[in-house]
Structure formats: C-alpha cells, structure tokens
Amino acid sequence: MDPRPIGVFDSGIGGLMAVRMLRHLLPGGPILYLGDTARMPYGDRPAGEIDRLTGELTGWLLRQNVKALIAACGTISCNAGETLQQLPVPCFDVVTAAAEAAAQATRNGKVGLAATSATIRSGCFAEEIERRTGQAVTAVPCPLLAPMIEHGAGPDDPALAAAVAEYCQPLLQSGVDTVVLGCTHYPLIAELFTRILGPEVSLIDCAGEAAKAAAEAMKEQHLLAEGNDPAVTEYRFTALPPQAARQTARRMLGEDFTPRLLPLEKLTAFSTE
Ligand code: DGL
C-alpha cells in the first residue's frame, strides 16, 4: 500500500474528468490535481513548447512526491513524448486507453476524432486508432472549443453550440459511429456532441478511459492507498478558473470544488531554460 498522491495534470479543467473517474474507482486516494490555466490553451502551441511546459508541470508534481501521474490532456499526451517517457514514476496518457475503447465501441469500423489542433497535427491519436480498426480516422481539429469551455461555456451556450455543429459536419458526412473526444475538455460538453451527432454515435471520454487504465495498472503494481473514504483531492491552478468554469467543475464532480492558486513562479523557477 502506498499513501502518496496520484498526480493528475492538464492545461486547465479538462483533466477533472479523470479525477471524477479515479475517485469513483479508487476511493482512498489521495489525488493532487494541477491545471496550467495561466498558460492554456496548449492546443495552439508547437510541440517543443508543449513538451517544455509539460516538464514544468511534471517537475512540480514530482517535487510533491506523487507515486504516479496521469497526463489528462490529449495535447500533452501527443506532443510531450520526450518528457513523458523520462519520468521516474509510472505515467498514463489518454491515447492508448481511448483508442482501445474506440476500437471496442465501433460497429462499422468508422471512428472520428475531435481534438485540439496540436493533437490532430501530431497524428499520434489517429494512428493509434487506425492500428486497431484498420480504417482511416476522420480527424477534426476544434481550436475554439477548449478555451470556450475553460471560460465556462456550457452545452446551452449558442456560440459554443454553433462551433460544435460546424466541427461535427465532417464527422456526420463520413458516417462514423464512434467519436473519440480526444481533448479532455470536450467530455464536459458531451451532451452537446450527442445532440448534434445523434444518440446512436458512441462518444469516448479519453480522460475517463485513461483513469480506468491507470486504476487497473496501479492495482496490479500495488500502488494503491488504503481506505474506502472518498479520495482527498487537492486542486491547484496557475490562475484561478472563472466562476462559470468552477460551476461546471462542481456540477461534474458532484461536490464542492475549491481550487487553490499555484503561482506560476513555483513551476518556472525550476525550469532548466
Ligand atoms: N484539455 C486539453 C487536451 O486534452 C487541451 C486544452 C488546450 O488547448 O489547452 O487536449
């Protein structure tokens, strides 16, 4: 048994979807969450920059003595390979687990991928899915969504609904029966995707799938903490999320959500650059 926290990180609030699943699967926690809200979005940045910022996030989490990490962000999972492969603790990303879930969910082999520009550009998410289905993925960059969701736009926001409707056009035209929500912010508005794509299209929540895979692996590696009480979770952000986003988080976590500020200097002071 290992009482150290599991570190979960994202550019903002998207990774909270992984926290929700972890708390459900692994009572006894604890969990330390880090969102780099001061510097989000990551999805428009070049890969080298995403890798450098990821090094700062994981560096801080490792200094807090985490026993394992979940990169609860499609953009980081696909663009920060250099950092993620050199970590001294197990690290789980969102790609493998979500690709696996999509391959299992699809009935006609046609899978769509909605994600940030950096994730689509990397090609890594689509490749992992294609390796399993043997068919080309319909991959759609959705640059407007994560920042809008981060600022509190929900499924009933007309501007957000218009953007999702436009991004879903290629998915509808290609006849996909499964869509991977490959940015962890998108499951926060899953009902909007369902409204536009129709209830017969299966949606894959990449953060939830990553948390399931991590929980499974941690059980096998005897990395769990003792106890059945709800996991104690500490939420740290480099800029405090706006009120509307906090409400989204509260609604999604189903309980109180108290974000605490982590000044950016705490991350950058240790940066090697
Ligand atoms: N939540 C992040 C992801 O899964 C992206 C948001 C951003 O662009 O920062 O890709």
**pTM for the complete prediction?**
0.94
For a mutational test of ligand 1's pocket, the pick from 75, 95, 238, i.e. the residue with the most ligand atoms closer than 8 A to its C-beta, is: 75
Strand partners, 91: 69
pLDDT band at 231 (very low <50, low <70, confident <90, very high): low
Nearest protein Cα to ligand 1, atom 2: 73
Nearest protein Cα to ligand 1, atom 7: 41
Give 5-42 pLDDT, tens digit per residue. Answer: 999 999 999 999 999 999 888 877 789 999 999 999 99
In the prediction, which pLDDT does 206 show?
Answer: 97
Q: Which atom of ligand 1 is nearest to the CA of 115?
A: 10
Give 129-187 pLDDT, tens digit per residue. Answer: 999 999 999 999 999 999 999 999 999 999 999 999 999 999 999 999 999 999 999 99
Q: Are 31 and 8 in contact (CB under 8 A)?
A: yes
Q: Supply the DSSP string of 7-49, one letter for each residue.
A: EEEESSSTTHHHHHHHHHH-TT--EEEEE-GGG---TTS-HHH
Give 109-125 pLDDT, tens digit per residue. Answer: 999 999 999 999 999 99
Task: Determine the 3-state secondary structure of 175 from DSSP.
Answer: coil
The residues lining ligand 1, judged by C-beta closer than 6 Å to any ligand atom, are 10-12, 14, 40-43, 73-75, 116, 119, 146, 183-185
List residues with catalytic annotation: 73, 183
Give 32-58 pLDDT, tens digit per residue. Answer: 999 999 999 999 999 999 999 999 999
Give CA 158 to chain center in angstroms.
24
In the prediction, which pLDDT does 273 show?
Answer: 43
- In the chain, DSSP finds a helix count (H) and a strand count (E) of 13, 10
In angstroms, the CA 150 to CA 53 distance is 18
